[in-house]
Amino acid sequence: MRGMSIIVRTSSRIMIPLILILGANIIFHGHLTPGGGFQGGTIVAAALTLYALAYGVSLNLRNIERVEGIKSLGLALIGLVALAGALNALIRGFGSFMQNRGVFPLGIPGWIFSAGTLLPFSVGEGLNVAMGFMAVIFVYVMLMEFEVKEEAKR
Amino acid sequence: MAAVLFLAIVTLAFAVIFTLSFPSFGSGRSLAIGYYLPRALEDTGALNVVTTIVWDYRGYDTLGETTVFFAAAIGALLLFRRREHR
C-alpha cells in the first residue's frame, strides 16, 4: 500500500513516538497503575497502524513473518514464566502452573521491578496484542488491495 | 414458535430477577471485594488489584484468552495469504 501526503507523514512523525511511549508506559506499569498488557498493546498497535497508513506498508512474507515472530515471542514469554511455577512445584513440592509463590521475588510494592510474574505477563501480553492487531490491519490492507486489483481488472 | 417465545420470556425473567438480586452499584457488599482487596498486596506485591485478579487469581482464564487471540490472528493471516497467491 502506498503512503499518504506529506502533511499526514509530518504530523504522524511527531505523534508516533508519543503514542509509543504512552503504550509502553501503560504496558510496563501494568502492575502499578490502571491498564496493563492488553490496553497498552492496543495503543502500541494504534501507533504502528498510523505508521503503516502514513508511510505505506509492503505486505511481503518477511513483514508478516516478523509480526508473527514477535507475537510468538510474547506468548512464549508468558508460557515460560508460567512454566517456572510448574518447575517450582516439581522441585520444591509446592505451588502450581502459573503460580508465583517463591519463584520470582515480590520486591517493594510500587517499584517497577516488583510483583513477581505480573510484569513479564504484562509485557508478553502487550507484544501479543500489539502484533495481533497489526495482523488484523494487514488483513484489512490485503482485502483493500484485492478490491483495488479487482476494480482495475474490470 | 410458542415454545421458543416461552423460553425467551423465562430466560428474560430469570435475568431480571438475578440482576435485581445483585448488590447495588458502589454499595461495597460484594463478597469478592472482601476476599481480594485485603489479600492482593500481600499475595502478589502489586498495587493494581485488577491486574492481580486478571493475571494471578484468574490466570488460566487470561492465558486461554491470549492463546485464542494468538490463534485468531494467525488464522486470519493464513486464510488471506492463500487468496493473495492465487
- pLDDT given for residue B28 in this prediction: 66
Residue of A nearest to B49 (CA): A31
- Average pLDDT of chain B to the nearest whole number: 82
* B77·A31 Cβ contact <8 A: no
- Counting other chains too, the contacts that B81-86 makes at CB distance below 8 Å and 24 or more residues apart are B81/A64, B81/A142, B83/A142, B83/A146, B84/A59, B84/A142, B84/A146
With cell 481480594, the residue in question is: B36
Test the B interface: residue of A75, A96, A112, A153 with most B CBs within 10 Å? A75
Q: Which chain B residues have a beta carbon less than 8 Å from that of A136?
A: 73, 76
What confidence tier does B52 reach under pLDDT thresholds 50, 70, 90?
confident
The alpha carbon of residue A14 is apart from the nearest alpha carbon of chain B, in Å, by: 29
Percent of chain A residues topping a pLDDT of 70: 99
The ipTM of this complex is: 0.79
Q: List the helix and strand counts (H, then E) for chain A.
A: 4, 0
